[in-house]
Copies of this chain bind each other. A is one copy, B any other.
Amino acid sequence: MVNQASESTQESPSDMPAEISGLRMTRQRWEVYRLLLEQRDHPTANDVFMRVKDRLPNISLATVYNCLEALVQHGAIRQVNFERESSRFCPNLEEHGHFHDKRSGTIHDVTFKPGVQLADVLELPPGTLITDIEITLRGELPTAHS
| Residues of A participating in the B interface, judged by any CB pair closer than 8 Å | 79, 81, 83-84, 87, 97, 99, 102, 110-113, 116, 118, 120-142, 146
Does B127 contact A146, Cβ atoms closer than 8 Å?
yes
Does B131 contact A140, Cβ atoms closer than 8 Å?
yes
Return 13 A-B CB contacts under 8 Å, by A number: A84-B87, A97-B122, A111-B123, A112-B121, A113-B122, A128-B141, A128-B142, A129-B141, A130-B138, A131-B138, A131-B140, A132-B139, A133-B136
Partner of A135, one of B83, B129, B134, B146: B134
Number of copies: 2
Partner of A139, one of B81, B84, B121, B129: B129
Does B112 contact A122, Cβ atoms closer than 8 Å?
yes
* Bound CA span A81–B141, Å: 24
Given contacts A81-B84, A132-B137, contact A142 B126 (CB under 8 A): yes
